[in-house]
Chain A
Amino acid sequence: MELILNTVRRIDYDQTKEFAFGDTQSLEDHLAIAFLNPKNFKELKLTKDTHIKLANDEGSIILKAIEDENIPDGTILLPVSIWANQLTKVQETEIFYKNIIVNVKAINEPITKYEDIINKIKGD
């Protein structure tokens, strides 16, 4: 299904804090996540053990999905992070961190590892 991706800063899911005090595991635990409205969560047939794959023209990532009734129907929220920035867009001189259309589906695969993203950026 298609959802609108917005990136947000949240104090409990803060990239700067994880880099300063955490490790790779805590980065993945706190930032490789997505918040969804319970209605969309149900429509995607998600369970606590399944993950979601988000994809658009820029790339794809697999994240842990979290139900959040404060998220509007049709919207998916990602903490500002290196994961979210695999899907954010650049057009000419502007960066778009919000209102990005992404295709979302349930998937039985592990979340995208931090190391894999770094290797992809490096071009390995």
Chain B
Amino acid sequence: MKRYTCSGCSLLCDDIMIRSDGLFIDEVIGACLKGKERFDQVTTENRITSPMIRIDNELKKISWEEAMEIVVKIIKDSSNPLLYGFSNSCCGAQSKGIELAQKIDGFIDSNASICQGKVLGMANEYGINLTTITEIINKTDLIILWGANPAETIPRLLNKTLFSRGKFRMTGREIKTLVIIDPVKSASFNVMGVRDIALQIEPGKDIELIQALKDECCQADSIPTEGVAGVDAEDLKRILLHIMGTENGVIFLGQGILKSDKENHLIREILEFIQIINSKQEKGRMGLVMMGGHYNMAGFDHMALSLTGQIGGLQFKDHCLLKGNDSIVKKINSDDFDCSIIVGTDPISHLPYSLSSKLAKKSIILIDNQMTATAELADLILPTAITGIECEGLAFRLDQVPIHLEKIINPPSNVPSDETLLNQIITKLNEKGDR
């Protein structure tokens, strides 16, 4: 048996024991349900193993040579292509995606732009240090889950951070306080102990809560006696005592925060709150971790920053990067594209109808390894290997730490990796001459 890193989610657990002969995975030990599913995807019936084209509303298998000719034709006929996804691809593929976007004067963006990416950009503005999982394991005595339900989204996160015994402490769970702030009593509430605090706030009232906490930080006894956002005043004071007394605390920001109304305002309020805590704290500090879902959601912005000096959506014109930050939402909503190249994601399912219906009206080239709603509408599907199982690559963990993913077995039908395929498309375009 050999130890591998799991690419089932953004935690990238590096302690999964796998027995394999290089052809099949015989046994997986230590993976959570999501990780196990990731390894099971290798042999699922819904796996795509050969290129397919849509003719008369039916998907038909074609050869790789034919598929590459069609890709080149769609790209050459396009003057405003859109590239989207890449959070389920390694950094090498993300880098090739940016190179392709530059070559074909396209717009490229990742899933992060409608998820945690914006928090990273804002955190940089505020100068808040992001913390790492290792630091949380070793030092943290206060964990706050804000709009986050790791028990169901990143199942081993609490195992590693809450129940672990750190290198610099002789104690573990017994000195760690868990605070959960969520309108719904989620599965994560089940791990709470007697000293932990659950705040089941009224839906959409996070702003009121954070402002009350900020006010109390600056001026004592400013919390209204009747409480705020459905939370008892005494509970709020108790939380502040923990926050101001922590030696090393962390706030995990979940999708509940990232996808709420007036979210930018809310995220800024939370960042300001952390800034206030860290300026008033004398013995400790508060850190921040964003809970991305896809295994390499954090990677795209790192690649974009290193290659172009900019994060978020990248628009190229005359093979040069245009300044400014368009988003995938704005591009699709304003119909500012004429074909799309989707890599490892399912926007037809994930985006609201007003966007998915616009995306479906233009040609879609899908690079993915399994059937999805996007595959049901794609004009051309190019299958690829599963990174971290059938090909190697680099990915950034949710705490922005780069982790190498190894290859375990060969992919079916020798399908290429995302990185190799994107490189082949670039090479093919070079052979056919510039657009």
Contact = CB atoms under 8 A, between A and B. Distances in A.
B430 to A, nearest CB: 34
Contacts of A122: 360, 377
B354 A58 contact: yes
A19 B46 contact: yes
B371 interface: yes
B417 interface: no
B148 to A, nearest CB: 10
B348 A121 contact: yes
Contact of B376 (A15, A98, A118): A118
A17 B34 CA distance: 9
B203 A99 contact: yes
A8 B153 CA distance: 10
Given A81-B349, A85-B351, A95-B114, A17 B377 contact: no
Interface stretch (A41-49, A71-79, A102-110): A71-79
Nearest to B47: A20
B55 to A, nearest CB: 15
B149 interface: yes
Contacts, number: 136
Given A11-B152, A94-B329, A59 B261 contact: no
B33 interface: yes
Query: Majority SS of interface residues in chain A?
Result: mixed
Contacts of B187: 10-11
Interface in A48-105: 58-59, 70-72, 74-75, 77, 80-82, 85-86, 88-90, 92-99
B46, B202, B203 pick with most chain A CB within 10 angstroms? B203
Contact of A21 (B46, B186, B204, B352): B46
Interface in B326-378: 327, 329-330, 333, 346, 348-357, 360-361, 370-373, 376-377
Nearest to A88: B352
A88 B41 CA distance: 29
A59 B46 CA distance: 30
Nearest to A70: B185
A1 B11 CA distance: 40
Contacts of A93: 327, 329-330, 333
Interface stretch (B252-260, B271-279, B281-289): B252-260
Contact of A82 (B202, B261, B348): B348
Nearest to B293: A9
A98 B260 contact: yes
A72 B202 contact: yes
A7 B260 CA distance: 10
A98 B183 CA distance: 12
A27 to B, nearest CB: 9
Contacts of B350: 80, 85
B37 A17 contact: yes
A11 B33 contact: yes
B33, B185, B200, B350 pick with most chain A CB within 10 angstroms? B350
A4 interface: yes
B184 A70 contact: yes
Contact of B349 (A70, A82, A98): A82
Contact of B353 (A4, A8, A20, A58): A58
A40 interface: no
Contacts of A97: 255, 259
B263 interface: yes
A121 B261 contact: no
Contacts of B44: 20-21
Contact of B373 (A71, A75, A77, A118): A118
Interface of B: 33-34, 37, 40-41, 44-46, 114, 149, 152-153, 155, 183-187, 200, 202-204, 255-256, 259-261, 263-264, 293, 327, 329-330, 333, 346, 348-357, 360-361, 370-373, 376-377
Given A11-B155, A95-B355, 7 more contacts: A20-B37, A58-B353, A70-B185, A72-B183, A82-B349, A88-B353, A90-B333
Interface of A: 4, 6-11, 15-17, 19-21, 58-59, 70-72, 74-75, 77, 80-82, 85-86, 88-90, 92-99, 118, 120-123
13 contacts: A8-B186, A9-B293, A10-B152, A11-B34, A11-B155, A19-B349, A58-B352, A72-B203, A75-B183, A89-B354, A94-B329, A98-B256, A99-B204
